[in-house]
Amino acid sequence: MAASNHLPIDTIHKTIIFDDVAIAFEDQVVLDGISFELKRGETKVLFGVAGSGKSTILKLALGLMKPDRGHIYVLGHDVTTMTEEELFDLRNQVGIVFQESALFDSFTVRENVAFRLMEEKLPEDEIEKRVREALSFVELEHTMDMLPSELSGGMRRRVGIARAIITHPEVLLYDSPTGGLDPITSTTIIELIMKQRDVYKTSALLVTHRLQDGFTLATHRYDPEAKHMVPLDGAVSRDVHTSFLILRDGKVIFDGTAVDLGHIENAYIREYIS
């Protein structure tokens, strides 16, 4: 594996490196020797059946959990050896969108989105400007003074995205951002993820159950002038920096591009993507 104790970590080209990571909850092994890399500017889509450890990978990357074995390097830091106090600084450079949004329910949308900035004690006018910018990115400027309970599921996810991107993080982690949403809202969310990928070139790990989310990301690009996504010329291309990773029984059974996936012979994967 690329990351070794003896070799310097390549942070120029890689934002996240999982090196032989394993974790078990009580007697159940969830991840067993997972290794992969997330290149700078790349979006890696994580597939797998429910309980295959996709969300665990995101929590491990943020240091919210510690693995039983292996090393995880995020922006050059080994999060497996860092203290919680040290991790707080690193987490300022990583954004996460939780499965159920995890918005603070007693805070307004504005306070949720501005949370990091308020913690950093930025001037009020600076906070206001950046909150508006983040909320306009997800087209929810009008919800500033609303509480999360007043928003629909799709709107909550979009506020979650605004909260994650407000500090312009180098890496974004999306935990099933389209889970439980209708197809139209899901497409809106995927378009926002694509916009973040193509406009801001942010590296991202995207956990999803929906194959179409991954394929839409791999076959479309965001057009800033038209302000919506457009299909790539010539079906699938590497230009969009999108790759797939499939998990099964705690192991990586596929790590490659959409083109590679199309040529795979593995029966399980063929059935999974069919």
**Span 241-270, contacts to another protein by CB under 8 A:** none
Between vectors from CA 227 to CA 224 and to CA 231, what angle results, nearest 5°? 85
Shortest Å distance, C-beta 243 to another protein: 24
Radius of gyration of the chain (CA): 18
Instruction: Give yes or no for residue 64 binding another protein (CB under 8 A).
Output: yes
CA 274/CA 271 separation, integer angstroms? 5
Nearer to another protein, 33 or 76 (CB): 76
**Residue 93 vs 187, nearer CB to another protein:** 93
Site for another protein contains 89 (CB under 8 A): yes
Range 107-146, binding another protein (CB under 8 A): 115-116, 119, 121
- Nearer to another protein by Cβ, of 43 and 101: the residue is 101
Distance CA 30, CA 28 (A): 6
Which residues neighbour 44 within 8 Å (Cβ) at sequence distance 6 or greater?
Answer: 36, 38, 204, 205, 206, 242, 243, 244, 245
- Segment lying near another protein (by CB under 8 A), choices 89-97, 218-226, 252-260, 262-270: 89-97
Q: Identify the bridge partners of residue 123 per DSSP, sorted by sequence position.
A: none
**31 Cα distance to chain centroid:** 18
Considering the complex, state which of residue 96 and residue 261 has its C-beta at the smaller distance from another protein: 96
Stretch that binds another protein, among 46-54, 87-95, 236-244, 254-262 (CB under 8 A): 87-95
Rounded CA-CA distance 229/252 in Å is: 30
CB of 173 to another protein, least distance (A): 8
Our CB check for another protein shows the closer of 82 and 211 to be 82
Nearer to another protein (CB atom), residue 100 or residue 260: 100
Chain Cα centroid distance, residue 192: 12
Tokens of 53: 């450890």
Residue 59 touching another protein (CB under 8 A): yes
Residues 140-179 touching another protein, rule: CB under 8 A, are 163
Q: Does 84 bind another protein (CB under 8 A)?
A: yes
The CA-based diameter of the chain, rounded to the nearest angstrom, is: 57
Q: Is residue 102 part of the contact set for another protein (CB under 8 A)?
A: yes
Min CB(110)–another protein separation in Å: 15
Tell the smallest beta-carbon distance from residue 188 to another protein (Å).
Answer: 22
SS3 140: coil
Q: Which two tokens stand for residue 181?
A: 């949403």
Query: Are 58 and 67 a contacting pair, CB within 8 Å?
Result: no
Q: How far is CA 8 from the centre of its chain?
A: 25
Rank residues 51 and 231 by Cβ distance to another protein and give the closer one: 51
- Are 194 and 217 in contact by the 8 Å Cβ rule? The answer is yes
Residue 50: HSE in the Cβ half-sphere, 13 Å Cα cutoff: 2
Part of the chain binding another protein (CB under 8 A), chosen from 58-66, 74-82, 210-218, 237-245? 58-66
Contacting residues toward another protein, per CB under 8 A: 59, 62, 64, 84-85, 88-89, 91-92, 94, 96, 98-100, 102-105, 115-116, 119, 121, 163
